[in-house]
Amino acid sequence: MSDLSRPQGPKIIAVANQKGGVGKTTTSINLAAALVEAGKRVLVVDLDPQGNASTGLGVESDAREFTTYELLLEDISLDEVIQETDFDGLYIVPATIDLSSADIELISNEKRSFLLHDALRQTAMDAFALDYILIDCPPSLNLLTVNAMIAAHSILVPLQSEFFALEGLSQLMLTIREVRQSGNKDLRIEGVVLTMYDRRNNLSQQVENDARSNLGDLVFKTVIPRNVRVSEAPSFAMPVLTYDTSSKGASAYRALAKELISNNSI
Ligand SMILES: Nc1ncnc2c1ncn2[C@@H]1O[C@H](COP(=O)(O)OP(=O)(O)OP(=O)(O)O)[C@@H](O)[C@H]1O
Ligand SMILES: [Mg+2]
């Protein structure tokens, strides 16, 4: 089905939450894998100097010659920075620690907030025929995350099902509001997804109730359970969908992909 609201290429989604360890990278990797399993062509942009998404998708450090740093700051062909992964239809722009200096190097650059926006909209991008681009953001509201928010059509927010989960959200929403005023007025919130959910734990249920009563339909129906297979998969350089295809974690990310696809009609 053609999507008239998205005439020029892939839907770009930034996976962001400035709180560390809430499941941004896990969600980027596994949602991407689930979208690919559903027949979509997906690019993951690793925008975190920690490079966890790159490792989790099997790009070893010595295979990261050209990275997000070059994508943002150098004039380099997309064929060199976009790497094919072992999974058909799943691509990645990897990251290394080099990216940690980008924040400072960008300060004097007039287009500093728009570098990722422009990089992802080069006409050479069309050749990859992507349906989705997922940007794995660092745990900060720095210039890299602002680049992701300016580049993206929407933000997907992983929310860890634990105490204080909702506390950081107001700061994130404030930043989203500022980005809407300064460079991306159409930026939407794709949704909030509860991660590391434990049904036996009252706290998880309380966070879910709070999130649903405060944020309503913005919260995805799908909840990602805490599942040890999900946390083991990256050390085998695989999404959980291939590491343990019948695990609860794999099923949950499949359900999330289905919900996303149905919300977007893409
Ligand atoms: N559903 C899950 N079940 C079990 N463990 C999980 C699950 N999701 C994430 N984890 C684990 O929690 C930790 C943090 O997850 P992840 O790295 O995805 O968070 P992050 O938000 O990207 O962190 P950072 O802010 O450092 O980038 C990791 O060790 C990961 O394996
Ligand atoms: Mg991460």
How far apart are the C-alpha atoms of 125 and 165, rounded to whole Å?
36
Token match 């499941």: residue?
23
- CATH architecture of structural domain 11-264: 3-Layer(aba) Sandwich (3.40)
Ligand 1 in reach of 56 Cβ (< 6 A): no
Ligand 1 in reach of 127 Cβ (< 6 A): no
Closest CA to 159 of 113, 194, 121: 194
CA dihedral angle for residue 132, residue 133, residue 138, residue 144, rounded to 10 degrees:
-140
What are the pLDDT digits (tens) for 12-53? 999 999 999 999 999 999 999 999 999 999 999 999 999 999
Percent of the chain with pLDDT over 70: 97
User: Best substitution site from 18, 24, 26 to test ligand 1's pocket, by max atoms within 8 Å of Cβ?
Assistant: 26
Tokens of 20: 């560390």
What are the pLDDT digits (tens) for 47-106? 999 999 999 999 999 999 999 999 999 989 999 999 999 999 999 999 999 999 988 888
pLDDT bin (cut points 50, 70, 90) of residue 1 is very low
pLDDT bin (cut points 50, 70, 90) of residue 265 is confident
Query: What is the pTM assigned to this prediction?
Result: 0.96
| Nearest atom in ligand 1 to 249's CA | 1
How far apart are the C-alpha atoms of 253 and 229, rounded to whole Å?
12
pLDDT at 106: 86
Domain boundaries, the chain: 11-264
pLDDT at 8: 66
* Closest C-alpha to ligand 1, atom 9: 23
Ligand 1 in reach of 52 Cβ (< 6 A): yes
What are the pLDDT digits (tens) for 226-254? 999 999 999 999 999 999 999 999 999 99
Ligand 1 in reach of 249 Cβ (< 6 A): yes
| Nearest atom in ligand 1 to 17's CA | 21
| Nearest atom in ligand 1 to 197's CA | 1
How far apart are the C-alpha atoms of 209 and 211, rounded to whole Å?
5
Closest CA to 93 of 140, 142, 52, 44: 44
What are the pLDDT digits (tens) for 136-169? 999 999 999 999 999 999 999 999 998 788 888 9
* Closest C-alpha to ligand 1, atom 16: 23
